[in-house]
Chains A and B, each alone.
Chain A
Amino acid sequence: MNAESLEGEDRPGHTGYNYAYLDEQTKRMLRRALLKAVAIPGYQVPFASREMPMPYGWGTGGVQVTASIIGPSDVLKVIDQGADDTTNAVSIRKFFANTAQVTTTTSSERATIIQTRHRVPETALSDGQILVYQVPIPEPLRWLEARESETRKMHALREYGVMHVSLYEDIAHHGRIAKSYDYPVLVEDAYIMRPSPIPKFDNPKLDNCPALQLFGAGRERRVYALPPYTRVVSLDFEDHPFDVETWEESCAICGAQDSFLDEVVTDDKGGRMHVCSDTEYCNKRLAAQGRQEATA
């Protein structure tokens, strides 16, 4: 995070762009917004979102946040729904390898910055790491109130009863809280926040997390943040407490029973299997099993 000292014209890989693609003024503006976001956990800070060389919905918010904080000494990991090897993850990783000359990795432990779309890694994060979320819709109150002026006022006055109205509706119609991703949370007993479309399975990982968590919404032009060790509580009712998904199955590849599983259809005869959504976690377990077998 010392891009200021890197006048990058002479660095390899540059083709007329500033270091990490964005100009220094833009990065400074973003960092100011992020500082404010860190100072007020869960509060949405507006910023002047730039056009990025990718369409909205592909992580323009996350990429801008990453660009504003990254430096050559950083090690970057990018995941898309837990996977390191999808198109989106690969191209964002390449983008920063190219424009910011950073080392990239698939290891959650080695990474200093992890940009993610819709998952939190299974591997516990640690002090000093930064998790950057790509956010499509930052406003938790948007579903019922279209006016930004009104939602800002509702946040300011903590008029959050309506959030429970949406949970009430779930129970009334489905007998339980059916919302399974982008599950709203209350941050430090103050702001209600959307955790981005991560499965609610990941919500407990947000609470008291040692890593800094930054959220960027490019189209909606908002950033927000959870500083390390912030209290994050998922909304619920006393008689319908928050819980996370569990599976009867275990991962068909690594046998994990504690990770978030994706259901994969394997043929056109109804065959299917469950595998870890976090590819790194799965590979790591597999490698460890291989070593065990080798030593056995």
Chain B
Amino acid sequence: MTEIPLLEVESLTRRYGRRIGCQDVAFTLWPGEVLGIVGESGSGKTTLLNCLSGQLPPSEGRVSYLTRDRGAVDIWEISEAQRRLLLRTDWGLVHQTPSEGLRMGVSAGANVGERLMAVGARNYGEIRTEALHWLDALEVDRGRVDEFPDAFSGGMRQRLQIARNLVTRPRLVFMDEPTGGLDVSVQARLLDLIRRLVSELSLSCVIVTHDLGVVRLLAHRLLVMRQGEVVEAGLTDQVLDDPQHPYTQMLVSSILPV
């Protein structure tokens, strides 16, 4: 296999003073792969996601990303401008709470079009057409393009947030509990939609969640985190059906069958 990994993480550690956020995490993400990071709250999964996605500098270790134009770069070695550009173009970041990832004061269309304008799109008609295309793709009624996000339900807001991220056709999307806080039926529909988009667009994803049902459906592979460390890693169905580590066994047995 001559493929080159999209993301290579080596001995990544983040400390908060003397407390450990995450410790000595290493993994490789291949193009088109969906990696689930599971663990209870406080297990360090969100810290890890923040270090991976350029939000939080790690204390040690490296995060190497295969850029479109400059080969593999350590995202913590490049300038902040380049890192922020990456996050607005080739990456997506989906927050658990849509209002964190959306501009609540501007319309759905402007939310979706913003990234295009940020990279220099200056044709209103084209921006709008593209925004409508992504509303369609996320199954949001295009008639609502001029409404503000507060007029949308939680599930629709989350779709809007995803559309806003996908408009620049990123290759890597980070998701933090993408279905957290939604009603179960809304959750299920959103998951199916994400699953379809991920496969249609050949997205690579890192999904952080405590919900094993989410990773069962979406993730190819899992990292199980506990107290800042990865205690088990492997194929999703293998980790869930034949967990090896005591913590993973506890995690799997403590939920309803998925």
* A–B contact (CB under 8 angstroms): yes
Q: A residues near B, CB below 8 A?
A: 144, 153, 156-157, 159-162, 164-166, 168-169, 171-173, 236-240
Are A161 and B115 in contact, CB atoms less than 8 angstroms apart? yes
A168 to B118, CA, bound (A): 12
A172–B115 CB distance below 8 A: no
Q: How large is the interface on B (under 10, 10 to 19, 20 to 34, 35 or more residues)?
A: 20 to 34
Task: State which of B81, B110, B119 has its C-beta within 8 Å of the C-beta of A168.
Answer: B110
Instruction: Indicate whether B117 reaches chain A with its CB closer than 8 angstroms.
Output: yes
CA gap between A160 and B119 in the complex, in Å: 9
Residue in A153, A166, A171 with the greatest tally of chain B CB atoms within 10 Å: A171
Residues of B within 8 A of A237 (CB): 122-124
Contact A168 B109 (CB under 8 A): yes
Cβ–Cβ contact A172 & B123, under 8 A? no
Instruction: Please pick, from A157, A168, A236, the residue contacting B127 in the complex, using a CB distance under 8 A.
Output: A168
Question: Taking CB as reference atom, which chain A residue is nearest B84?
Answer: A157
Q: How many pairs of residues, A versus B, come closer than 8 Å at their CB atoms?
A: 63
Bound complex: CA A159 to CA B81 (Å): 9
Residue of B nearest to A143 (CB): B105
Please tell me if the beta carbons of A168 and B113 are within 8 angstroms of each other in the complex: yes
Is A238 a contact of B114 with CB atoms below 8 Å? no
Query: Nearest Cβ in chain B — how far from A47, in angstroms?
Result: 27
Determine the residue in chain B with the shortest Cβ distance to A168: B110
Q: A157-B81, A172-B146 are in contact. Are A165 and B124 (CB under 8 A)?
A: no
B167 to nearest A CB, angstroms?
A: 12
Query: Within the assembled complex, what's the spacing in Å between the Cα atoms of A20 and B107?
Result: 49
B216, CB-defined interface residue at 8 Å? no
Can you list 17 A-B pairs with a CB-CB distance of less than 8 A? A144-B103, A144-B105, A160-B118, A161-B114, A162-B118, A164-B122, A165-B103, A165-B110, A165-B117, A168-B113, A169-B106, A169-B107, A171-B124, A172-B145, A173-B146, A239-B123, A239-B125
Q: Which residues of B contact A157 (CB under 8 A)?
A: 80-81, 84
Q: Report the bound CA distance from A237 to B128 in whole Å.
A: 12
**Contacts A144-B103, A159-B84 known; A168 to B123 CB distance under 8 Å?**
no
Tell me if B118 and A159 are in contact (CB < 8 A). yes
The smallest C-beta distance from A277 to any residue of chain B, in angstroms, reads: 30
From A161, A165, A238, B119 is in contact (CB under 8 Å) with A161
Distance in angstroms between the alpha carbons of A201 and B146 in the assembled complex: 28
* Residue among A144, A159, A238 making CB contact with B123, cutoff 8 Å: A238
- Minimum C-beta distance from B42 to chain A (A): 28
Closest beta carbon of chain A to B1's beta carbon, Å = 37
In the complex, chain B residues whose CB is within 8 Å of the CB of A239: 123-125
- Contact with B124, one of A153, A161, A162, A168 (Cβ below 8 angstroms): A168
Is the Cβ of A240 less than 8 Å from the Cβ of B118?
Answer: no
B125 and A165 contact, CB distance less than 8 A? no
Chain A residue nearest to B81 (CB atoms) is: A157
Contact residues, B114-147 vs A (CB, 8 A): 114-119, 122-125, 127-128, 145-146
Q: With a CB–CB cut-off of 8 A, which chain B residues contact A166?
A: 106
Sample of 11 more A-B contacts, CB < 8 Å, known A156-B81, A168-B127, A173-B107: A144-B106, A157-B81, A162-B117, A165-B113, A165-B117, A166-B106, A168-B124, A168-B128, A172-B146, A173-B146, A237-B124
In the assembly, what is the distance between CA of A239 and CA of B128, in Å? 12
On whether the beta carbons of B124 and A240 are closer than 8 Å, the reply is yes
The one of B80, B105, B107, B118 that contacts A161, using a Cβ cutoff of 8 Å: B118
- Chain B nearest CB from A100 CB (Å) reads 44
State whether B122 touches A161 (Cβ < 8 A). Answer: no
Q: Which residues of A contact B128 (CB under 8 A)?
A: 168, 172
Contacts of B125 in A (CB 8 A): 239
- In the bound complex, residues from chain B placing their C-beta under 8 Å from that of A153 are 80
User: For residue B107, which residues in chain A have a CB less than 8 angstroms away from its CB?
Assistant: 169, 172-173
A13 to B124, CA, bound (A): 58
Which residues from B are CB-within-8-Å of A173? 107, 146
